[in-house]
Amino acid sequence: MGGSFLIAVAFAAILLVIFGTGSQGTDLALRVTARWSFLLFWLAYAGSAMTRLFGPCLAGLARSGRELGLAFASAQSVHVGLVLWRFHGLGPGMVFFWVGTFCTYLLALFSLPPLRDRLAPRLALVFVADFIVFPVLNNGLNKYPLTYLPFALMIVSGVGLRVLSHCFFRKV
């Protein structure tokens, strides 16, 4: 958890030093911390499913799901701080973000498997909205930001892995 937090802080600090604390630097820091957090979320979200589908060589990933989820919440704290700084937490568009943030910290607070299994799919919806729905609504499909494509593919594949693993295999 500490390492993921420090990496997020380092990313944000480096970008803010290089690009300044105005819109450009803060927006870049927001993007990078969001993607770092997402990577940790995705590993926690899809790790057990990958173990069920691809075998025991990934068992360590499945066993580390709780720690990866807590690392996600820790790294996400830096992103949330940047959001508060940049947007002051206001605006109707931020409601979805704050619901996802609430679920993240609720999950971290009660990081027990039954709660995790119920909340993780809802957190995935936040990332579906961030990387797929909102960019398409805001830009149109023909101007979809290509920098979002790897993350959109990751969230779609993560959902697919979980669905397949639950359909064909018992829990690890």
CB atoms within 10 A of CB 1: 17
How many domains does the chain contain in total? 1
Give the model confidence (pLDDT) of 92-127 as tens digits. Answer: 667 777 777 777 777 776 666 666 666 667 778 888
CA 24 to chain centre: 22
Q: Using H for helix, E for strand and C for coil, what is the string for the chain?
A: CHHHHHHHHHHHHHHHHHHCCCHHHHHHHHHHHHHHHHHHHHHHHHHHHHHHHHCHHHHHHHHCHHHHHHHHHHHHHHHHHHHHHHHCCCCHHHHHHHHHHHHHHHHHHCCCHHHHHHHHHHHHHHHHHHHHHHHHHHHCHHHCCHHHHHHHHHHHHHHHHHHHHHHHCCCC
How many Cα atoms are found within 13 Å in the side-chain-facing hemisphere of 141? 0
Which pLDDT value is given to residue 89?
57
CA neighbor of 126 nearest in space, from 41, 8, 28: 41
- For residue 67, give its domain range: 2-168
CB atoms within 10 A of CB 130: 19
- What's the confidence (pLDDT) of residue 172? 45
List, as own/partner pairs, every contact residues 55-64 make where C-beta atoms lie below 8 angstroms and the sequence separation is at least 24, other chains included.
59/172, 62/172
Q: What is the pLDDT of residue 43?
A: 92
Low-confidence ranges of the chain (pLDDT < 70): 88-93, 109-120, 170-172
* 98, amino acid identity: W
Dist. CA 21–CA 71, nearest whole Å? 26
Q: In the prediction, which pLDDT does 149 show? A: 93
